[in-house]
Amino acid sequence: MVSLPPEVSAQVFREFKPEEVQALSLEISKLPNISPEIRAAVIEEFLHTTDFSALGIQASSFASQVVERGMSSGVSSETSQMAPRQKPLNFLRRVDPHQLLSIVRKEHPQTIALVLSHLQAQQASAVLQELPPSLQTEVARRLAEIENVSPDILQDVEKILENRLFSLVEGEYPQADGKDALVEILSQSDRSTEEKIISGLTSRSPNLANDIKNKLCEFEDLMRIDEGSLQQVLRLTDIRDLVLALKGATKELASRIYGCMAPDAARALREDVETMGVVDWKEIKAAQQQIRNILRGLVTLGKIKFR
């Protein structure tokens, strides 16, 4: 679960029963830091021991999806070789152009041209424009002259670049922490799932539940932080988001926000809120979500103090 993107894990959560979700969340929160090697070994074991046919799923298709997502999370190149790809060098289409530049810029112009020929046009253009002028010309000439390329050559190039990409990502990607992973997953979950998990954790591990709740944060949690922390949040908040959010805020929270601002600024903000016409509730919730995200980010960085 922690090896998948949070939005995917959140979708998987919805398929479990409430008690299973609570048990799984508790186990995720207990996970220590996980190295890319252990992550890759676990995924490989899962792929080899699961009876996909009984689930009506093609193992190769599932493996391909897991590995494609796992490449950005530190899954090893050995694991990725289990999943056949539809096109040579196809995995490079999911790599950021700056990372691509890092792994190809010292290659022979012919190799760079070969790589660019298998990228999407926009991605290839972004890499090409960052190359030195003289190298740009040479790569462009060789790119235009590419015809049929031996599958063996493509396979060799793919293997080299996969290993290089893995080394690059492994050096940059932080090891997964169970609590942080659970917070990320819950951030992508619907409110109902989040509430059920927090409720289950509260009954089984109150301290853990409180820790997770503090990291998750809600818009209403602006009432729970000290004045200095609230001022930090407000400084990072777009004024339109703040006006919209206050349209749906409680009187107590609105008063607290006005109270920690300079009198002139508070008066101007109050006037903007009061003169704004009827607003769709979805817009209000979206604005509150933006402020909630700012608060969560500051909590993660340790910049927020709760009262």
Dihedral sign for Cα atoms in the order 81, 167, 158, 8: positive
247 within domain boundaries: yes
Question: Do residues 25 and 189 touch, judged by C-beta distance below 8 A?
Answer: no
Q: Which residues pair with 306 in a beta bridge?
A: 225
Domain for residue 264, yes or no? yes
pLDDT of residue 81: 42
* Distances in whole angstroms, Cα of residue 257 to Cα of each of 215, 222, 241: 21, 8, 13
User: Phi first, then psi: what are they for 176, rounded to 5°?
Assistant: -75, 135
| 67-74: average pLDDT | 47
Q: How many Å is the Cα radius of gyration of the chain?
A: 25
pLDDT value at residue 4: 74
Q: Is the pLDDT of residue 70 over 60?
A: no
Is the pLDDT higher at 58 or at 229? 229
Q: What is the pLDDT of residues 182-217, one digit of tens each?
A: 877 787 677 777 888 888 888 888 888 888 877 788
pLDDT value for 164:
63
> Which residue bears the tokens 């819950």?
186
**Which residue in the block uniquely carries the two structure tokens 């050995």?**
78
Distance CA 181, CA 47 (A): 22
Strands (E), the chain: none
Number of residues assigned to the chain: 307
pLDDT at 254 over 90: yes
Kindly report the CATH number assigned to the domain that includes residue 139.
1.10.220.30
What pLDDT does residue 92 have?
Answer: 74
Q: What is the mean pLDDT of residues 140-166?
A: 75
Domain residues for the domain of 298 are 221-307
Residue 247 has pLDDT above 90, yes or no: yes
Is the domain of 225 the same as that of 154? no
Instruction: Say which residues have a Cβ less than 8 Å from residue 293's Cβ, sequence separation at least 6.
Output: none
Least confident of 38-52, 160-174, 198-212: 160-174
Instruction: Report if residue 61 sits inside a domain.
Output: no
Residues 110-124 have a mean pLDDT of: 84
Residue type for position 304: I
> What mean pLDDT comes out for the span 49-63?
60
150 and 226 in a single domain? The answer is no
Residue 158 pLDDT level (bands cut at 50, 70, 90): confident
Identify which has the larger pLDDT, 175 or 255: 255
Indicate whether 228 and 304 sit together in one domain. yes
Please check the confidence at residue 32 and state whether its pLDDT lies above 80. no
Higher model confidence: residue 41 or residue 238? 238
In a domain, 152, yes or no: yes
Residue 284 maps to a domain: yes
225 and 166 belong to one structural domain: no
Q: Take residue 272 and report the two structure tokens written for it.
A: 């903007």
The secondary structure of residue 17, as a DSSP letter, is: -
CA distance 230 to 71: 38
Banded pLDDT at 172 (limits 50, 70, 90): very low
CA 142, 109, 128 angle in degrees (round to 5)? 85
Shortest CA distance to 254 belongs to which of 288, 278, 214, 281? Answer: 288
- Please give the pLDDT value at position 8: 73
Range picked from 25-39, 174-188, 189-203 for highest mean pLDDT: 189-203
- Does position 31 have pLDDT exceeding 90, yes or no? no
CA distances from 260 to 41, 233, 236, 245, 307 (A): 52, 11, 15, 16, 15
Predicted local distance difference test score (pLDDT) of residue 103: 75
The answer to whether the CB of 146 falls within 8 A of the CB of 117 is yes
The last residue of a domain, from among 109, 143, 172: 172
164 and 231 in a single domain? The answer is: no
Task: Answer yes or no: is 252 within a domain.
Answer: yes
For the chain, the domain total comes to 2
Cα–chain-centroid distance for residue 190? 16
pLDDT confidence of residue 29: 77
305 and 248 within one domain: yes
Taking alpha carbons only, the member of 203, 173, 182, 172 closest to residue 31 is 182
User: In the structure, what pLDDT confidence band is assigned to residue 55 with cuts at 50, 70 and 90?
Assistant: low
**Is there a domain that residue 38 lies in?**
no
Inside any domain, residue 212:
no
pTM of the full structure: 0.44
Evaluate if residue 246 carries a pLDDT over 90: yes
Domain boundary among 144, 172, 200: 172
Q: How far apart are CA 249 and CA 52, in angstroms?
A: 49
DSSP state of 95: S
Domain boundary among 138, 172, 206: 172
The pLDDT of residue 73 is above 50: no
Q: Mean pLDDT over residues 117-143, rounded?
A: 83
